[in-house]
Amino acid sequence: MGRLVRVPRQVQGSDLSIAGLSDDMLHPGIAGMPGQTQMVAGDNYLERIAKYVPAEVLAFSLFINSILEQAVRTGGKTAMMAGFSVTSIAAGALVVAMTLVPLFVWYVREPGDAWFTNAFVSTLAFPFWAYAMNAVAFADYRDGNFAAILLATFTVVSGLVTPRAPRARRAERKAQGNVPKEGPRLVEAGMS
């Protein structure tokens, strides 16, 4: 299981074999036969819910928020840091953290991950999580019950977002060795 949501994909039968066993052991008498192509599903609903949570960026945001919250407790709503109001810094930190979510998802992606879908949903999820975690940027609008309802609703709905399987043409091209956009190159006669 990867860190990001996986795209449904097609695999050859030999790709589904048990580690350490050859195809001859699994399918005696049909050695050398190409394996059947089979569709492997992506992540299920609960796995998608868990993977769409931008946990690492939330941890960073929680750390920054705790510093800002301490400043608000000691200085009140008009607290200042380096000549700026703490609420302005909190709003800026919220925007920076939301910008970090898709960058982080892009950074940790692996082949087969639906990183674009994951980045989109995780970025949408971030403000819901920040609101539920009592972010200073939302201090004037904070309502714990409403935060719980929003977060639960978004979480349930986010699991319904599934990445699309790659189109057959793209999968064909990939299997043939990534044919360049301008098409196959022609070899001139007499030159090899």
Task: Identify residue 30 by its one-letter amino acid code.
Answer: I
pLDDT of residue 126: 94
- The reply to whether 43 falls in a domain is no
Cα–Cα distance between 179 and 141 in angstroms, integer? 54
Q: How many domains does the chain have?
A: 1
Contact 43, 66 (CB under 8 A): no
Alpha helices in the chain (DSSP H): 23-26, 45-51, 55-75, 86-108, 115-132, 144-158, 168-175
- The reply to whether 74 falls in a domain is yes
Range of the domain at 152: 55-161
pLDDT of residue 44: 85
pLDDT per residue rounded down to tens, the chain (192 residues): 357 887 776 555 544 444 454 545 445 545 554 555 555 567 788 888 988 898 999 999 999 999 999 998 888 878 888 888 888 999 999 999 999 999 999 999 888 788 999 999 999 999 999 999 999 999 888 898 999 999 999 999 999 998 887 665 565 666 666 655 555 554 555 444
